[in-house]
Amino acid sequence: MSQRTCLSVILAAGEGTRMKSVVPKVLHPIAGLPMVAHVVRAAEAAGAGDQALVIGHGADEMRKATQKFAPKAETFVQDKRLGTAHAVLAARAAISKGYDDILVMFGDTPLIDPGALAAARQKLAEGAAVVVIGFRPPNPAGYGRLIEKGGKLTAIREEKDCTDEEKKIAFCNAGMMAVAGKHALTLLDQVGNNNAKGEYYLTDIVEISGGQGLDVVATEASFENALGINNRAELAEAEGIWQTRRRREAMLSGVTLIAPETVFFSHDTEIGADTVVEPNVWFGPGVKIATGAKIHAFSHIEGATIASNCDVGPFARLRPGADLRQKAKVGNFCEVKQATLEEGAKVNHLTYIGDARVGAGANIGAGTITCNYDGYSKFFTDIGEGAFVGSNSSLVAPVAIGKGGYIASGSVITESVPDDALAFGRARQRTLPGKGKELRERFASAAAAKKASG
Ligand code: UD1
Ligand code: CA
């Protein structure tokens, strides 16, 4: 099959009014990736080398987004929504380039399993002209029914055009189809719009093919695969199914999730074996975690790279550009952004490290802040290997602390500190014997005098 060429035509011209959104429906994300991008990925995984995206509503936004998630895809605008066959024909220029297989998919069906698509292509390779992916939804209302005669698929009837008898059929059209490229345009051009909705139905090519003695086959996919998203409740349902699949995959690959249902992955999260993730952890896009790391409860991590045996959280926030090398540690209520923590560096409590390097083995005391921003520009803080930054220090960037530098607690460091130097950036302490008692007596008599005068 690998020698067969394949184009996927992904229909995404619909408005998606039920999402009640200014954002086109298919750009709403599942696991941080637009749902239509999931469809593109599935098509690619099933061997579709080229993608044609049929857009309409929100075309400019769609084009811009497509550039990001599928830069090679060609977009085609369907000006008027005259039905699914009409929509496929918007990509006529792509189809007519000549492909062995055409996969027609919907942009709002993000959970489709590439295996189901590959199985449909296999049927084309075996000689079928049209392959319909069917499924058995718990409630078939609203779906096209697969009409079979003598074990052969003869037609797909849309709900609105079904007889009462046909409505009882449980086997439905999931929406995805594989069509032999050499027949695709001829078949699509024969579709008319004589039906209850007055639309050009893609599904009519089943009956047309049968009438011409071409082979039509139905395959079956699970309900989850074909879940179409129309509103935000279904969006959340799809997200839930996606997360459940991903958690299982993570666990089977050697990751411990203590409470898997509370851990949320992104489409691109990479996580190594023997890493333990405690409850309530969120992974935004761009996270890579090596083996044997510990991610403690309630951590929020995005765009971060975490090397093996690092320790993160609880309640840590790692933002884009956080780069933790082996055995680095980021403890509770710490935020790290665009900063490298070299091997074994420790940032344990209540700290902000942004635009910085923390050298190997350095220890950053509680409440330390890298003051990286002056309201206009960002500046870099460089902390050398083995440095010690005392608690509650402010490091005003640009500034560097040399190897083994030692910063006294409560310092405001505005000038660079050489290797092995000790720096105080605070007022010297004064201790006045007996003054505490004297002060207390003064305040007490002042308060008594005030009370007496009413
Ligand atoms: C379609 C199928 C139905 C199947 C169901 C599965 C047809 C005629 N019907 O019905 O058999 O059970 O999906 O969910 O194909 N679109 C366009 N341009 C158009 C019309 C539609 O781009 O002119 C896109 C929509 O944005 C959507 C997809 O095609 O992504 C499906 O269209 P929709 O109107 O939702 O079809 P259904 O009535 O759900
Ligand atoms: Ca639909």
Domains in the chain: ranges and CATH? 6-220 (3.90.550.10), 247-423 (2.160.10.10)
Q: pLDDT digit string (tens) for 154-204?
A: 999 999 999 999 999 999 999 999 999 999 999 999 999 999 999 999 999
pLDDT range class, residue 14, cuts 50, 70, 90:
confident
CB of 134 closer than 6 angstroms to any ligand 1 atom: no
332: amino acid identity, one letter? N
Q: Is the CB of 107 under 6 A from ligand 1?
A: yes
Q: For all residues of the chain together, what is the average pLDDT?
A: 97
Q: Which ligand is nearest to the CA of 158?
A: 1
Distance CA 161, CA 194 (A): 10
Angle at the Cα of 352 (from 349 to 355), degrees rounded to 5? 140
Confidence (pLDDT) at 2:
61
What is the spatial distance between Cα 230 and Cα 232, in angstroms, rounded to a whole number?
7
Q: What are the residues whose beta carbons fall under 8 Å from the beta carbon of 442, sequence distance 6 or more?
A: none
Instruction: Look up residue 112 and give its amino acid.
Output: I
Q: Which of 106, 145, 179 to mutate to test the pocket of ligand 1 (most atoms within 8 A of CB)?
A: 106
pLDDT in tens, 426-435: 999 999 999 9
- Over the stretch 352-385, which tens digit does the pLDDT of each residue have? 999 999 999 999 999 999 999 999 999 999 999 9
Q: Token pair 């969006």 is at which residue?
A: 235
241 close to 261: Cβ distance less than 8 angstroms: no
Distances (CA, A) of 362 to 79, 126, 270, 354, 368: 61, 64, 27, 16, 13
d(CA 126, ligand 2 centre) in Å: 30
pLDDT tens-digit series, residues 128-168: 999 999 999 999 999 999 999 988 899 999 999 999 999 99
Average pLDDT over every residue of 283-311: 98
Q: How far is CA 438 from CA 68, 334, 448, in A?
A: 70, 41, 16
Q: Is 175's C-beta closer than 6 angstroms to any atom of ligand 1?
A: yes
Rounded distance between C-alpha atoms, residue 368 and residue 82, angstroms: 62
Percent of the chain with pLDDT strictly greater than 70: 100
Distance 228 CA to ligand 2 centre (A): 6
The pLDDT of residue 151: 81
Q: How far is residue 437's CA from residue 382's CA, in Å, rounded to a whole number? A: 45
Centre of ligand 2 from the C-alpha of residue 145, in Å: 14
Inform me whether the pLDDT recorded for 235 exceeds 80: yes
Residue 1 has pLDDT above 70, yes or no: no
pLDDT of residue 150: 86
Mean pLDDT, range 50-56, rounded to an integer: 97
Is 38 marked active-site?
no
Among all bound ligands, the one having the nearest atom to the CA of 26 is: 1
The two three-digit tokens of residue 191, written as one number? 């579709």
